């Protein structure tokens, strides 16, 4: 434990997270209604097309220029040198890539989310470190929070620099603080004259932090006279005295990523650099992440497309037992999964981006589902590619090239994709965040029934109030369009899958109610149950997105592409239905209780004899969590600039 770590209890941690959560629902949400048993397809189909004609022209022209530039870049060079060459960054800056989403009034391209996604797909296909850099800068770095929460003066001061190529970063995580911000230890202490804050602390995993010119820092302001204090957000100049990048971190993948450890010692930050009010920092961070998470579906879709291309070409070329390996059922099954899921990944990306561009729906759950589902499915696709490639899948691209074969970096894409299940909210944290939103109506209806601190009298009163809500809501789950074989017939052979989604949505809502009734306030500890509830909704969301995209392509594309889209969507839905049926079965037929008991026994050391007979090379190399103390850095500054 570090001396600077804030020790907080479970209740305070929950209260801090809940206070930062956006609790109002002023716009309709397809996914929220889906979890409540109301499958309202009209909210996503026909898909909104809010991009203006001139934006389409500008967007297509930019994507064409970016694609031409990406063709000149060498991803294997980035992998080999574990660094993005400065000339690559300068080239991206000249194209305006660092200002894709920044309004034209501030020197940016002002393009919509749909074209931002296309750009991320392109740069990611060169090397995922490029998309990590662009998205960390533009999705969660300085541009997005300043655009959303900055004053006019702050926008005029910072956005033109960001658009011109000033790389930025977002600094929240600390050595002992991850998804529990209540324990945040970095401080921003107001000066006596109130004109500035003195920033102290250490931030870990600062993506882009090594080369950033500007950073957004989350720090705790002590309560003081004239200010409420709390976790607050600041835009900080990276060359300010007292800032030291103490380490450039290295990872199993994303080898070109400029990720570091950054120390702040008595860094003077002008008061006018604070974003929003004191105490608004977590709300700003979470709101920024809502749209920032869409970068993950974009990069994972690009990876899936590449994996499918390689699998198709290789499986037709490689011959075993007198037939191309793709003709063997064991490999054909993998190719089918890859093709169908790649179609669904792009469907989820397109739908989410279109909803974001339209701005008429609340998409916080949709975006979270897209990030969660895309990161998991793309990882499976990459794993299947490595298996199809066999020993060549495990061999590096440089090694393949050295012995005269095509330099296919299959093992690299597997390493690079692994972080997406952790980035911007791990799968486990995303399950909890989405579950909290999905059961929000139940928690509101249950009131003190869902509170672990309420007494029996309060719970009894809450039970009476809850019965009124459920008396009206539950009967609506008995029957719906999914029971009518004529429903959704405009979707042709896909109609049966939409009927399945509608029926499953109502079943999902009923199962959530049963869980709420069974565990009440203890439901939040049934994380296995909640994770399966969330995963069912994610699959249903992907099915609906796939059917919508197939019909859109059939209606507005050429006939051959429309037919192909329908075939891909149909197979994807068949595969997804099997996963959903299995998840429903696991809701009540699982090993969750036994798993918890065994895990506790393991933690208590009861089964430590199982670990005998090995050598642990990490033993004695250092503490589990690096300790830090406020103060001046003694390390060499690893910060650098590309321009």
Q: Which sequence positions are flagged as catalytic?
A: 424
- In the block, which residue shows the tokens 């409420």? 228
Q: Indicate the Cα dihedral angle 357, 358, 360, 362, nearest 10°.
A: -30
Measure the CA angle with vertex 579, ends 511 and 537; round to 5°. 45
- 56 vs 206, 512, 552, 629, CA distance in Å? 34, 42, 18, 52
**Helices (H) then strands (E): counts for the chain:** 23, 10
What does DSSP assign to residue 224? B
d(CA 72, CA 643): 20
Report the length, in residues, of the chain: 643
Beta-bridge partner residues of 197? 190, 269
On whether the CB atoms of residues 256 and 130 are closer than 8 A, the answer is yes
Non-local (6+) Cβ contacts of 126 within 8 A are 70, 73, 75, 78
Upper half-sphere CA count for residue 100 (Cβ side, 13 Å): 26
- Is residue 46 reached through a cis peptide bond, with omega within 30 degrees of 0 on the bond before it? yes
On whether the CB atoms of residues 119 and 97 are closer than 8 A, the answer is yes
Measure the CA angle with vertex 376, ends 375 and 378; round to 5°. 70
Non-local (6+) Cβ contacts of 220 within 8 A are 6, 184, 185, 186, 187, 188, 229, 230, 231, 232
Q: Exposure string (b/e) for 357-375, b if CB count within 10 Å is 16 or more? A: bbeebbbbbbbbbbbbbbb
Closest CA to 547 of 113, 46, 84, 93: 46
d(CA 618, CA 180): 27
């Amino acid at each position: 434990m570090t001396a600077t770590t804030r020790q907080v209890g479970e209740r305070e941690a929950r209260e801090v997270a809940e206070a930062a959560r956006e609790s109002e629902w002023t716009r309709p949400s397809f996914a929220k209604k889906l979890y409540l048993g109301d499958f309202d397809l009209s909210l996503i189909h026909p898909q909104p097309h809010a991009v203006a004609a001139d934006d389409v022209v500008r967007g297509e022209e930019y994507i064409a220029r970016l694609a031409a530039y990406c063709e000149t870049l060498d991803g294997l060079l980035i992998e080999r040198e574990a660094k993005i060459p400065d000339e690559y960054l300068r080239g991206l800056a000249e194209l305006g890539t660092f200002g894709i989403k920044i309004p034209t009034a501030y020197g940016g391209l002002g393009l919509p989310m749909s074209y931002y996604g296309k750009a991320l797909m392109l740069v990611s296909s060169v090397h995922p470190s490029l998309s990590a850099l662009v998205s960390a800068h533009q999705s969660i770095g300085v541009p997005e929070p300043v655009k959303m929460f900055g004053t006019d003066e702050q926008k005029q001061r910072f956005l033109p620099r960001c658009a011109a190529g000033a790389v930025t970063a977002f600094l929240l995580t600390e050595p002992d603080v991850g998804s529990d911000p209540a324990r945040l230890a970095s401080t921003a202490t107001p000066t006596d004259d109130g004109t500035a804050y003195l920033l102290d602390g250490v931030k870990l995993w600062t993506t882009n932090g090594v080369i950033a010119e500007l950073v957004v820092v989350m720090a705790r302001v002590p309560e003081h006279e004239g200010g409420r204090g709390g976790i607050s957000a600041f835009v900080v100049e990276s060359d300010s005295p007292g800032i030291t990048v103490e380490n450039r971190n290295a990872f199993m993948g994303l080898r070109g990523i400029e990720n570091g450890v950054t120390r702040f010692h008595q860094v003077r930050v002008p008061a006018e650099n604070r974003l929003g009010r004191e105490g608004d920092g977590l709300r700003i961070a979470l709101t920024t992440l809502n749209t920032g998470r869409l970068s993950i579906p974009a990069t994972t879709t690009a990876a899936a497309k590449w994996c499918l291309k390689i699998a198709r070409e290789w499986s037709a070329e490689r011959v075993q037992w007198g037939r191309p390996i793709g003709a063997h059922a064991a490999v054909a099954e993998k190719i089918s999964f890859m093709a169908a899921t790649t179609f669904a990944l792009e469907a989820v990306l397109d739908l989410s981006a279109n909803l974001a561009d339209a701005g008429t729906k609340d998409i916080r759950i949709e975006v979270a589902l897209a990030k969660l589902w895309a990161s998991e499915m793309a990882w499976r696709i990459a794993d299947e590619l490595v298996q199809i490639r066999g020993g060549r899948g495990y061999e590096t691209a440089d090694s393949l090239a050295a012995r005269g074969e095509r330099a296919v970096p299959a093992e690299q894409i597997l390493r690079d994709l692994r972080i997406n299940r952790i980035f911007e909210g791990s799968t486990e944290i995303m399950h909890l965040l989405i579950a909290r939103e999905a059961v929000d109506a139940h928690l509101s209806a249950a009131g003190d029934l869902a509170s672990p601190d309420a007494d029996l009298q309060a719970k009894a009163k809450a039970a009476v109030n809850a019965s009124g809500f459920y008396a009206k809501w539950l009967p609506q789950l008995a029957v719906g369009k999914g029971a009518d074989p004529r429903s959704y017939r405009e979707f042709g052979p896909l109609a049966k899958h939409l009927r399945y989604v509608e029926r499953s949505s109502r079943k999902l809502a009923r199962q959530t109610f049963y869980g709420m009734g069974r565990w009440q306030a203890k439901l939040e500890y049934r994380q296995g149950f909640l994770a399966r509830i969330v995963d069912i909704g994610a699959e249903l969301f992907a099915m609906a997105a796939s059917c919508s995209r197939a019909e859109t392509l059939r209606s507005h594309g050429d006939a051959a592409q429309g037919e192909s889209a329908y075939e891909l969507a149909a197979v994807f839905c068949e595969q997804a239905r099997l996963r959903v049926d299995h998840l429903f079965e696991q809701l009540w037929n699982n090993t969750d209780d036994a798993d918890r008991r065994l895990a506790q026994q393991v933690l208590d050391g009861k089964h430590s004899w199982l670990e005998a007979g090995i050598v642990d090379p990490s033993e004695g190399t250092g503490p589990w969590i690096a300790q830090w103390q406020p103060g001046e850095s003694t390390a060499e500054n690893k910060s650098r600039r590309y321009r």
